[in-house]
Structure 1
Amino acid sequence: MEDVQSQCDVRGIAIQCVGVSDVHLPFLIKTKDGGFQQVLARIRFTVALPQEYKGTHMSRFLEILMPWSEKPLAEHEMEAMLEEALARLSAQSAEVELRFKYFIGKKAPVSRRESLLDLGCTFRGKKRVGAPMEFTLGVDVPFTSLCPCSKAISRYGAHNQRSICRVAVRFHEGKPCIFIEDLAALVEAQGSAPIYPLLKREDEKFVTEHAYENPKFVEDILRDTVLALRSLEGISYFFVECENDESIHNHNAFAAHEETVPAGNR
């Protein structure tokens, strides 16, 4: 049958990214303990298309993804997936992004009751022919924040809110990326208090008082997160944004920051 996609295009426009998006597949994500966690991933998978080609072969993206969805996945497997895309689609560059919910175990601070906290996570890989993959890990971490100003001016109590810190990190070539569990713990520690899916009364008392003794503005949380990320060995780039879902206003408080860290600075 005629292959229209492989026909020549004369408009002289190379397309930077073409492929498939909003693909939903179960994937196996490697965990810190050496096992894996099954997740439902939302995927975007693209390659660069030279100006002389009319189109790419969309079916090949799914043909590549299906076998990889059955293998525990981390950086090494992401790079192999992209190398396969470069070869099978005759491309000079390829990108893949997986968005998924990842669950980490939490123990309540006093009762020690166990529960699972879901985190929004992203694996993003970019690769050019002959170059190492650029891998980015993204994690959205919720916690509690308590307003220092409210505490300072009130006779009793202080308003608090649920906050979320969205972090994306990359590491220099040859340096392994941090595990999801470790990055989440590092970010969570910068809030006023952690969030737990399951709390008994004694836990609720502990968390409430812990937040009250650790008040932070959104700017405080952001700056403390920046300092924590700077301390990571081998980090090359990070982006942070923190958002407080304000409890006494009809708007949110927001702060963001990004940095590129040259090799040798860490």
Structure 2
Amino acid sequence: MQSLRLPLSDCLDAAVTAAHAAAAILQAYAHNRGDLVIDTKTRNDLVSQADREAEQAIIDILLERTPQLGIVAEESGGKASDIATWYIDPLDGTTNFLHGIPQYAVSIALIAHAGALINGDQPLDRDTPVIGVVYDPNREELFTGLHGVGAWLNGRRIQCSRAASLAESVVGTGFPFRDFSFADEYMPTLHHAIRHTRGVRRHGAAALDLAWVACGRYDAYWEMGLAPWDVAAGTVLVREAGGICEDIFHADPWPIGGYVYAGNTNTATELDAMIQPHMKPRQSRSSQ
């Protein structure tokens, strides 16, 4: 019978190794962007061989080091397992990468499923992000998070900001760029944030946006219409840095549906209250 106990330290080490391997591939291509073969999946949704090769490098390492775990990856799909599943984005910020904008990252997360044993002998009662790795190869910044232990940037412990309100916050967001079905919900929130914060930033890489919340560069962040692998690792980082990172619809145990808000206990609560009046009900992703 398969053990339901997760060796988190070993899994974290595997994820860090995989992130560095993928980043090496990305940076090799970054200096020769003109040679990249680029495909369009849907409108404004691009993929290159850099994405695909970086993803395969991650998968190869994780399959070798953690063969008992499932893998769900942006480009190649995959399937979950009973105990835990890796969520992989080999290149978060593909459009930035292809345009030479140095704001992109490798993002790898492990989601432990209900029933898995993490600490002690008490099984989890719900799916829980337990490992988050976000690596920014341009700044050589490695963000890591481990459930119940903490979050770090290049080995130094990090914490969310201490901003007391949105009025004294710089906040990150992402505009609709691929799916515009939620634009009527999103635009009023942007309008409010522009008027009631110190500034709004849109850098185009959700994993880094969440990592920056975790280390206090952003005081809060929200975005809609993302994918699970965009937010999985960042969720661990923010939560382990003392913050809140949740599903905007409060339907799922983590923002698997890609509607996410995050911040410290003050700013996230205020951000949630700002967003809710504009949202239309949606079915829980986990119940679909």
For normalisation by structure 2, the TM-score amounts to 0.29
For normalisation by structure 1, the TM-score amounts to 0.31
> More strand by proportion, 1 or 2?
1
Higher gyration radius (CA): 1
> More helix by proportion, 1 or 2?
2
